[in-house]
């Protein structure tokens, strides 16, 4: 058993046999980290320990892990609801809906995340992959994502707009007897709303209905490049359609799941579009997942792509994020830790705050008793904003 704790000390010193900084300093041996008032102050050897500092020690010290795509606090892991709470089935286009307006801060998933060394997560509208009949219930634009710490502190209340193309929204809308129910219809709807948002900005044209106004206003930051579209996509045919949209409107996009991305990795590398890959621990159910393989991360790494690995919590419980990375490493991925620290922070737009161990960054640290991606390694401490939030026993 483990317990949640909170350190009131403003100074914390971490002694590590091995500190993987994910910064230019690389991996340090038998070194220390000094955290003052929630931020990393010093990293290295010969650090003087303040008199009022708490000191903890561990084998392998890494930046707090980051899951770049979850439904944490929105879709509880124990939910048996046929209608996912992260999807508004009354309207297939709802980019103005915000996950922060529906977060449950008492979701067990937050404690579970800490037990796995996860300190930050992107929480997205939509639904997890289902193990039941409906593989995934998702609409065309289910809402806005947010980035948050596992201690409840928000880093970004709106980090992007979630969209979806392909078989999953097509099938879900068909089950609701709601148009569109074809791939071309879904792309046409996205294009229509982007066109309307452009006209709203450029010409001041009034939306057709008052109901559309908040939707278009939510899309304006997307068109201005202030945040990306997180696009749920699996198959190559749909990835290619997304690439056309991105080029047509000049928007920033992140491909979420991207199951068949390895099949056109070179083309995606040329475009420089980030990918959040996963979940990997899932059966190849339906056409969307027929080419799912844990070899994909290694192929993306080979092409020099910016990508992260996700659990899609609660599809795979978030505390198993390190194990997912380990599965990819077993299939050839070389720098797995980077995919759930530095890369994930960059994709989520919070690299200036978290994702590495270096002075100035927020004090988010995970300490393991062995290699983080080995299945028998355990978390001994998880630290968020310089406070110990979890102690393993």
pLDDT of res. 7 = 43
Tokens of 201: 């900005």
CA pair distance 220, 164, nearest whole angstrom:
18
Structure tokens at 176: 């609701």
**Looking at residue 236, what is its pLDDT?**
97
Rg (CA), the chain: 21
**Rounded Cα gap, residues 375 and 327, in angstroms:** 9
Q: Domain spans of the chain?
A: 3-62+358-391, 65-348
Q: What is the pLDDT of residue 131?
A: 61
Q: Which of the four CATH numbers 3.40.50.460, 3.60.10.10, 3.30.1360.120, 3.20.20.140 does domain 65-348 have?
A: 3.20.20.140
Domain 3-62+358-391, CATH: 2.30.40.10
CA-closest candidate to residue 154, choices 274, 72, 268, 53: 72
User: Which pLDDT score is estimated for 204?
Assistant: 75
pLDDT value at residue 132: 57
User: pLDDT tens, position by position, for the chain (393 residues)?
Assistant: 344 444 444 799 999 999 999 999 999 999 999 999 999 999 999 898 888 899 999 999 999 999 999 999 998 876 555 566 788 989 999 999 999 999 999 999 999 999 999 999 999 998 887 665 556 789 999 999 999 999 999 999 999 999 999 999 999 999 889 999 999 999 999 999 999 999 888 877 766 777 788 999 999 999 999 999 999 999 999 999 999 999 999 999 999 999 999 999 999 999 999 999 999 988 887 888 999 999 999 999 999 999 999 999 999 999 999 999 999 999 999 999 999 999 999 999 999 999 999 999 999 999 999 999 999 999 999 999 999 999 997
Can you read off the two tokens belonging to residue 153?
């502190």
Given a contact cutoff of 8 angstroms between Cβ atoms, the answer to whether 252 and 225 are in contact is yes
The strands making up 39-44's β-sheet, listed across from edge to edge, are 3-4, 387-391, 379-384, 365-368, 54-63, 11-20, 27-36, 39-44
- pTM score, whole prediction: 0.94
Give the containing element (helix H, strand E) for 347. Answer: helix 342-348
The b-or-e profile of 326-362 (16+ CB within 10 A means b, else e) is: bbbbeeebeebbbbbbbbbbbbbbbbebbbbbbeebb
> Cβ distance 93 to 140 under 8 Å?
yes
pLDDT computed for residue 344 by the predictor: 98
Dist CA 228 CA 291 (whole Å): 26
Residues 6+ apart with CB under 8 A from 95: 141, 143, 144, 161, 193, 215, 218, 219
Cα–Cα dist 33/19, whole Å: 9
Backbone phi and psi for residue 303, each to the nearest 5 degrees, phi listed first: -90, 0
Q: Tell me if 372 sits within 8 A of 328, measured CB to CB.
A: no
Task: Report the distance separating Cα 263 and Cα 271, nearest Å.
Answer: 15
Nearest in space to 94 (alpha carbons), one of 142, 55, 127: 142
């Amino acid at each position: 058993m483990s317990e949640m704790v909170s350190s009131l000390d403003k100074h914390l010193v971490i002694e590590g046999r091995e500190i993987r900084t994910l910064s230019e300093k690389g991996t340090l041996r038998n070194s220390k980290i000094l955290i003052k008032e929630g931020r990393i102050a010093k990293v290295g050897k010969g650090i003087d320990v303040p008199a009022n500092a708490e000191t903890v020690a561990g084998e392998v010290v890494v930046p707090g892990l980051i899951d770049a795509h979850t439904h944490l606090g929105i879709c509880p892991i124990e939910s048996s609801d046929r209608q996912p709470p992260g999807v508004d089935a009354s309207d297939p286009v709802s980019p103005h809906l915000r996950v922060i307006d529906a977060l449950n801060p008492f979701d067990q998933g937050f404690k579970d995340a800490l037990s796995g060394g996860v300190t930050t997560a992107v929480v997205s509208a939509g639904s997890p992959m289902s193990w039941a009949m409906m593989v995934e219930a998702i609409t065309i634009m289910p809402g806005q994502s947010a980035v948050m710490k596992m201690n409840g502190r928000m880093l970004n209340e709106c980090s992007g707009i979630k969209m979806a193309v392909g078989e999953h929204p097509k099938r879900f809308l068909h089950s609701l007897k709601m148009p569109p129910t074809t791939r071309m219809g879904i792309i046409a709807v996205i294009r229509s709303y982007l066109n309307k948002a452009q006209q709203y900005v450029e010409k001041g044209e009034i939306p057709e209905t008052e109901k559309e106004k908040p939707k278009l206003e939510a899309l304006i930051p997307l068109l201005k490049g202030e945040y990306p579209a997180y696009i749920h996509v699996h198959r190559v045919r749909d990835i290619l359609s997304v690439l056309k949209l991105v080029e047509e409107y000049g928007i920033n996009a992140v491909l979420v799941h991207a199951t068949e991305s390895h099949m056109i990795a070179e083309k995606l590398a040329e475009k420089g579009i980030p990918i959040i890959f996963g979940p990997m621990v899932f059966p190849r159910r339906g056409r969307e997942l027929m080419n799912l393989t844990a070899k994909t991360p290694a192929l993306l790494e080979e092409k020099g792509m910016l990508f992260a690995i996700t659990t899609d919590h609660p599809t795979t419980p978030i505390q198993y994020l390190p194990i997912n990375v380990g599965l990819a490493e077993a299939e050839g991925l070389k720098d797995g830790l980077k995919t759930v620290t530095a890369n994930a922070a960059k994709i989520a737009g919070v690299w200036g705050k978290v994702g590495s161990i270096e002075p100035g960054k927020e004090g988010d640290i995970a300490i393991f008793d062995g290699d983080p991606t080995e299945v028998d390694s355990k978390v001994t401490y998880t630290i968020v904003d310089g406070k110990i939030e979890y102690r393993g026993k």
